Structure 1
């Protein structure tokens, strides 16, 4: 999708996919090196921070808990309006199998706190319940999930992350946000958006 088509998708349906190498020259040249190394590099952290769209609201997951505070400090220096950096019990996202460490930027300050599934009004599920598979199996999982046919654990994992993102946009009630995300998946609205985006090429 061209930059113009991507912008139109955001305007028309409120969602788009940005493939980093297409929009950022530096990432384009670094990508072959990353693929050769087959391990984490500085680009796992740097990528979201050098987003050429320069969003002023962002939810970013980091693979190591020790990175939460320094990345949040960096985002604060970048004058982000509101953002959160998370690490969820070994995952670079909000966790439903354990606690999530959060550093949230709001009103020019950083607040540090932790979240559990209970804070979202969700059940706790073992990490094994979210295990993926082959690319085809993963595609089926996502399709089912967005079509309202996901497992309770899969729904909860998506809902928790969406709920925190919604908080960054001013919807403060995490439990209400999580339920809204679950409702969107179960209604099929989420899949409809994906289909509309896919139809644009």
Structure 2
């Protein structure tokens, strides 16, 4: 990726703030757009953020030029002449015009991206334009199909296995909730095949905290199956099971905002689980996620987004405010809301579960397993209680599309029991000691 490595970090950070504003919703003052253009003209900006900024101007109808070509002219870089790039440019133009991709075109686009046939500049423009326009169910389904076709699949997982994961992209930097939930579910006898990634838009992703804890993440099917059979849980690192994602990682990191791949990741569990508790960074995507998973064969899904106040949402159930959920059960999709004051748990602001670097989050998870109390424990209990229902265990917490809070309380009690009796700590220690023939590693 092209860049100017001597650009002062403060200048890069300032331009990053401009990009975040201009790709987001709402009006952007003219002086902000001019400041961004000045930064690019002065040569103070790396290639990918510059293209994201110019793409945002195009999507806002503030310029009519092709953002990739314009950035190349401004930086005196020749255009990419490869045939795949020429074909992808037609697809990119469709997105830049604000039009949705037809299924065949969407599949072709995502296939080219995951095969490494798209230059980083064009990829940055494509991801930025999709981010601003909003991805459709059809485009998301095509992306998932492209990823699943190229992933290292894990066969023969237990019937009824569940995944608990989030999209990331909420920018809140909280402690690792769904990773802790996986250990609680395992202690309750629920088979969990958790899919996770390194941090991209946060400080500590699931893979980061598991590596800090010393938890192995097997790559081959045999040790993965052995781990689930012995401990009811295994962890699949996205970098090990989705090698095609190496073609997009650098651009995603350089963009610094959520992309379609935040949505695609939780929909592409390598074990093909059909039950999922999926956290989503914003509520407008809940229905899209549930409908996409239904189209791909899932049987029970809760897609959730927690309202933290001040227009912020977390990709978990939260005690900071109402959690909106889109629920797929028996082929039907329902929308409902979980109110924290009715859960029997103490409401708490999102700052109460603020996280940090992997070492900090790992220490908090160890303390939780050892009996620690507070907002982190309560948030994990709430998410575990709903996950029990998704797994078909515990009490059924939904009747007629409405939350049964008494049943939810009972599931919370069950989850608290395995934290209090040391069963969660025992699972954590057992998986830390797990060894089997075959690599236990994370690639990428």
**Could you list the per-position Cα deviations for residues 102-155 of structure 1 after superposition, in whole angstroms to 9, with x for gaps in the alignment?**
011111101110002234321211212111233322221111011112x32111
- Aligned: 1:41 with 2:267: no
Identify the match of residue 249 of structure 2 among 31, 51, 55.
31
The 5 Å alignment of 1:48-197 reads 48-89=266-307, 90-149=313-372, 151-170=373-392, 171=394, 172=396, 173-197=407-431
Identify the match of residue 9 of structure 1 among 227, 242, 255.
227
Q: CA separation in 1, counterparts of 2:219 and 2:294? A: 31
Structure 2 CA distance for partners of 1:141 and 1:113, relative to 1, 3 Å: same
Aligned positions, number: 200
CA contact (8 A) 2:219 2:241 kept: no
Gapped regions of structure 1 (runs ≥ 5)? none
Structure number with greater Rg is 2
Q: CA separation in 1, counterparts of 2:284 and 2:261? A: 17
Structure 2 CA distance for partners of 1:198 and 1:30, relative to 1, 3 Å: farther
After TM superposition, give the deviation of residue 41 of structure 1 in Å.
1.7
Q: CA separation in 2, counterparts of 1:193 and 1:34? A: 34
Q: CA separation in 2, counterparts of 1:48 and 1:63? A: 12
Corresponding residue of 2:45: none
After TM superposition, give the deviation of residue 169 of structure 1 in Å.
1.8
**What secondary structure is seen at the aligned counterpart in 1 of 2:281?**
coil
**Could you list the per-position Cα deviations for residues 142-193 of structure 1 after superposition, in whole angstroms to 9, with x for gaps in the alignment?**
11011112x3211110001111111112231211111211221222211211
Q: CA separation in 1, counterparts of 2:429 and 2:252? A: 31
After TM superposition, give the deviation of residue 50 of structure 1 in Å.
2.0
Structure 2 CA distance for partners of 1:10 and 1:29, relative to 1, 3 Å: farther
User: Considering only aligned residues, what root-mean-square deviation do their CA atoms show, in Å?
Assistant: 1.6
* TM-score normalized by the length of structure 2: 0.43
Regions of 4+ moved over 6 Å:
none
Q: CA separation in 2, counterparts of 1:5 and 1:176? A: 34
**What secondary structure is seen at the aligned counterpart in 1 of 2:236?**
coil
**What secondary structure is seen at the aligned counterpart in 2 of 1:16?**
strand
After TM superposition, give the deviation of residue 21 of structure 1 in Å.
1.6
After TM superposition, give the deviation of residue 2 of structure 1 in Å.
2.9
Q: CA separation in 1, counterparts of 2:365 and 2:263? A: 25
CA contact (8 A) 1:120 1:163 kept: no
**What secondary structure is seen at the aligned counterpart in 1 of 2:239?**
helix
After TM superposition, give the deviation of residue 62 of structure 1 in Å.
0.7
* TM-score normalized by the length of structure 1: 0.92
**What secondary structure is seen at the aligned counterpart in 1 of 2:291?**
helix
Structure 2 CA distance for partners of 1:133 and 1:97, relative to 1, 3 Å: same
